[in-house]
């Protein structure tokens, strides 16, 4: 079974600085998707960024980028120029390419990010 | 606007009572999911459904039941058999099948906070 591990329960970063959130996963599959979700205090889950496993190029979305290391099964999220609105719980998630009825997303336990003014 | 609605936002029940949480989506998504979120636990999958009139147990299905009579609706019943029902419940939906990457993320509702005393 696939697992997703976020080893940092909490992190803090100074406003305008850069922070990297770690995520590792375990799978025997070669084709899958990876996601980072953000959950602010409102508790609404928001997709931050996505990565398809067969693509070598790291995904970027404005100030958010990932470092995808397939061989190492690592998928870290880098937030540049941190802003107060980035304060949230961040979840790393894994999804197999849907091929059968067993189609679900596996979430890590989350990293709570604090932004220091 | 398309999206997922969950009602109510806060729900209070007495121990021993069954309670049903509503989840409706107008995104025309095939798959729907229920998650439970507890502090420090991340998101844990309760039930999911990929098609009308079919659903599968997730990792923590005991004490819960669901139905999927309509594509847009996936209500969750928390029964009196659930030992620790107080939690935050999230409903999500997604497209399934061999589609493009940006159609494989899950979209989340705003959640329902259930308190049982």
Pairing of strands A10-14, A111-116: parallel
Q: pLDDT tens digits for A85-98? A: 999 999 999 988 66
The confidence score (pLDDT) of residue A99 equals: 58
Alpha-carbon separation of residue A28 from A6, A43, A74 (angstroms): 19, 32, 14
pLDDT average, residue stretch B74-90: 94
> B40 to chain A nearest CA, in Å?
7
User: Does pLDDT of A14 surpass 90?
Assistant: yes
Alpha-carbon dihedral angle through residues A64, B91, A32, A80, given to the nearest 10 degrees: 10
Most confident listed range (A10-14, A57-61, B27-31): A10-14
- CB-nearest to A103 from B31, B35, B110 is B31
Q: Of residues B83 and A23, which shows the higher confidence score?
A: A23
Under the banding of pLDDT at 50, 70 and 90, the label for residue A113 is: very high
- CB-nearest to A104 from B58, B98, B105 is B58
Cross-chain residue pair A103–B105, CB shorter than 8 Å: no
Contact status of B74 with chain A (Cβ, < 8 Å): no
The chain-wide mean pLDDT, for chain B, equals 90
- CB-nearest to A95 from B56, B102, B104 is B104
User: Does pLDDT of B80 surpass 70?
Assistant: yes
Contact status of B27 with chain A (Cβ, < 8 Å): no
The confidence score (pLDDT) of residue A104 equals: 73
Whether the CB-CB separation of A90 and A77 falls below 8 Å is answered with yes
> B91 to chain A nearest CA, in Å?
10
Q: pLDDT tens digits for A25-66? A: 999 888 888 999 999 999 999 999 999 888 889 999 999 999
Q: How many CA atoms lie within 13 A of B3 on its CB side?
A: 10
Closest A-chain CA to B51: A101
Whether the CB-CB separation of A111 and A53 falls below 8 Å is answered with no
Share of residues in chain A with pLDDT > 90 (%): 78
User: Does pLDDT of A13 surpass 90?
Assistant: yes
User: Does pLDDT of A4 surpass 90?
Assistant: yes
Under the banding of pLDDT at 50, 70 and 90, the label for residue B79 is: very high
Whether the CB-CB separation of A25 and A94 falls below 8 Å is answered with yes
The chain-wide mean pLDDT, for chain A, equals 92
The confidence score (pLDDT) of residue B101 equals: 52
DSSP per-residue string spanning chain A: --EEE---SEEEEETTS-EEE--EEE-S-SSEEEEEEEE-TT---EEEEEEETT--SPPEETTEEEEEETTTTEEEEEE-S--GGG-EEEEEEEEEPP-SS---EEE---EEEEEE-
Chain A residue numbers with beta carbons less than 8 Å from the beta carbon of B48 are: 103-104
Cross-chain residue pair B105–A50, CB shorter than 8 Å: yes
Chain B residue numbers with beta carbons less than 8 Å from the beta carbon of A101 are: 50, 56
Chain B residue numbers with beta carbons less than 8 Å from the beta carbon of A42 are: 110
């Amino acid at each position: 079974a696939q697992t997703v591990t976020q080893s940092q329960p909490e992190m803090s970063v100074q406003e305008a600085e850069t922070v990297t959130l770690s995520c590792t996963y375990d799978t025997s599959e070669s084709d899958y998707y990876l996601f980072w979700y953000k959950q602010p205090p409102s508790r609404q889950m928001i997709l931050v960024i996505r990565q398809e496993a067969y693509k070598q190029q790291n995904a970027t979305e404005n100030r958010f980028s990932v470092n995808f290391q397939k061989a190492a099964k690592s998928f870290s999220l880098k937030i540049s120029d941190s802003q107060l609105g980035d304060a949230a719980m961040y979840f790393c998630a894994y999804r197999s390419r849907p091929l059968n009825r067993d189609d679900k997303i596996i979430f890590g336990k989350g990293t709570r990010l604090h932004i220091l003014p | 606007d398309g999206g997922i609605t969950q009602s109510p936002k806060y729900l209070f029940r007495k121990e021993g009572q069954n309670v049903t949480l509503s989840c409706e989506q107008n995104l025309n998504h095939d798959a729907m999911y229920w998650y439970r979120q507890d502090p420090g636990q991340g998101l844990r999958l309760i039930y999911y459904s990929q098609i009308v009139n079919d659903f599968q147990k997730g990792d923590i299905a005991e004490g819960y039941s669901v139905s999927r009579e309509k594509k847009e609706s996936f209500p969750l019943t928390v029964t009196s058999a659930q030992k620790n029902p107080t939690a935050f419940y999230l409903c999500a939906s997604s497209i399934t099948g061999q589609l493009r990457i940006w159609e494989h993320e899950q979209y989340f509702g705003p959640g329902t906070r259930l308190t049982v005393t």
